[in-house]
Amino acid sequence: MTRHRPHRPPRSDWTREGEEQSGDPLASAGGGRSTPAVEQLLEEVEAETEPRGLLTVGGLRGTVALVTGASTGIGRACAVALARSGCHIAFNYLDREDASQSEAAATAGELEAQGVRTFHRAVDCRDSAAVGGFVEEVQETLGGLHILVNNAGIGRDRALWRMEDEEWDDVIRTNLTGAFHFLRAVAPVFRAQEFGKVVNIASVHGIRSEFGLANYSASKAGLIGLTRSAAIELGPSNVNVNAVAPGYIRTTRLTDRVPSEILDQARAQSALGRLGDPQDVAGAVLFLCSESARHITGIVLPVDAGYLL
C-alpha cells in the first residue's frame, strides 16, 4: 500500500498558547534552530494524511446492524466498515427534502456492493413511534438485529445567551433523546436473545466543551451518561454498551460549518497534529462491535488524535 507523506504543518501550528513562535518545540537550546537529527526524527514520526483502508474483523458475518443517520459522514463510514465484515445493514436518514434521498441511495449502493443485504428509509429519531416501527421492520426484513450504532446527530452552535429554545430543543432531542428512542426500542430484542452490541457516537465536547456549544456539549455529555447507565442495565443480558468520542473529523456536516481557524487550532492542539477521518471513527466502532471487545462495556473511547491530552 502506498504511504502518503504529508506536508508538515507550518511552524506556527506547533505553538501552544503563551509560547513564542521561535521554531520547532524540539529546537536546539543554543540557536533556536532544529538540528539535522531532530529534523530526521520529525520526518520519521509524521502521520499520514490519508487513513489506511480498514481491516475487517471476524465473527460479524451474517449479523444485522442498525446504524442511525448513515447516509453521510461518520454513519456511512461505520455502515460500510460493518458491511465489509459481513453485516447486513439497516439505516435511517432524515428526509430534509434536498439531497438526502440521493445520499441514502448512494450509501445503500455502496453497502450492497459488499455483498450484504440492506434496508433503509427516512425515519426521524425524535419520533419514538416511528423509531419503534422501524426497528420492527428491520427485524422482519433482515431477519434479526444484533448491533446498534447511534450516530444521528446535529449541531446548532450559538452563545448560550443568544440561543433560541428551538436550537436547544432540536439538538437535545436529536442527539440524546433520539439515541434513547433507538436504545429503548432494541433493548427488549437484545435482552431476549441475550446478545447485543451498542455503540453511541458521543464527542470530545461531551467531555470538554468550547464556546458556543452549550446545547451540543450537553447532549453528548448526556449520551455518555446514557451509555454508562445502559451498560449497567443491559450487562446481565450479555449486551455491551460503549461510546466513542470523536474529535474534529473532516468531511462531515458538523465540521463543514466550523471556521477554518478553529480547525487549524484543533489540529495544532492534538498530539498527532491532524484532523480525523470518518474511517478513523469507523475503525473504533468496528472493534467495539466485534467479539474482540466482548469484555468491554461502559467505556468512552476518544478518537481524537490526542486532543483531550
Q: What are the distances in angstroms from CA 78 to CA 14, 26, 31, 69?
A: 32, 38, 48, 10
Confirm or reject CATH 1.20.1260.10 for domain 64-303, answering yes or no. no
pLDDT score of 97: 67
Grid look-up 473529523 returns 249
pLDDT score of 86: 96
pLDDT score of 46: 45
Question: Domain spans of the chain?
Answer: 11-45, 64-303
Q: Which of 93, 216, 248, 307 is catalytic?
A: 216
Angle in degrees, 0-180, between the axes of helices 165-172 and 214-234, rounded to the nearest 10: 30
Q: Please, which residues have CB within 8 angstroms of residue 304's CB and are 6 or more apart in sequence?
A: 204, 245, 246, 247, 248, 270, 276
- The answer to whether the predicted template modeling score (pTM) of the entire model surpasses 0.85 is no
The whole-number average pLDDT for the span 27-50 is: 45
pLDDT score of 23: 36
3-state helix, strand, coil in the chain (%, to 5): 45, 15, 40
**DSSP SS3 for 297:** coil
- On average, the pLDDT of the chain sits at 84
Residue 277 DSSP label: -
Query: For 269, left (φ over 0), alpha (ψ -120 to 50), or beta?
Result: alpha
Chain centroid, CA 171 distance in Å: 16
Tell which residue, 274, 272, 296, has the closest CA to residue 285: 296
Distance CA(121)–CA(128), nearest Å, equals 15
Asked about 216 being catalytic, the answer comes back as yes
Grid coordinates given for 5: 507523506
The whole-number average pLDDT for the span 243-272 is: 80
Distance CA(289)–CA(70), nearest Å, equals 16
Summarised one tens digit per residue, pLDDT across range 138-162 is 999 999 999 999 999 999 999 999 9
Counting other chains too, the contacts that 291-296 makes at CB distance below 8 Å and 24 or more residues apart are 291/58, 291/59, 292/57, 293/240, 293/242, 294/240, 296/240, 296/242
What is the side-by-side strand order in the sheet with 64-67? 118-122, 88-93, 64-67, 147-150, 196-201, 239-246, 300-303
- Partners of 245 in beta bridges: 302
Grid coordinates given for 230: 445502559
Q: Select the more confidently predicted residue: 226 or 252.
A: 226
Distance CA(271)–CA(278), nearest Å, equals 18
Grid coordinates given for 210: 468550547
Grid look-up 437484545 returns 190
**Does the pLDDT at position 21 exceed 80?**
no
Longest dimension (CA), the chain: 71
Grid look-up 480547525 returns 263
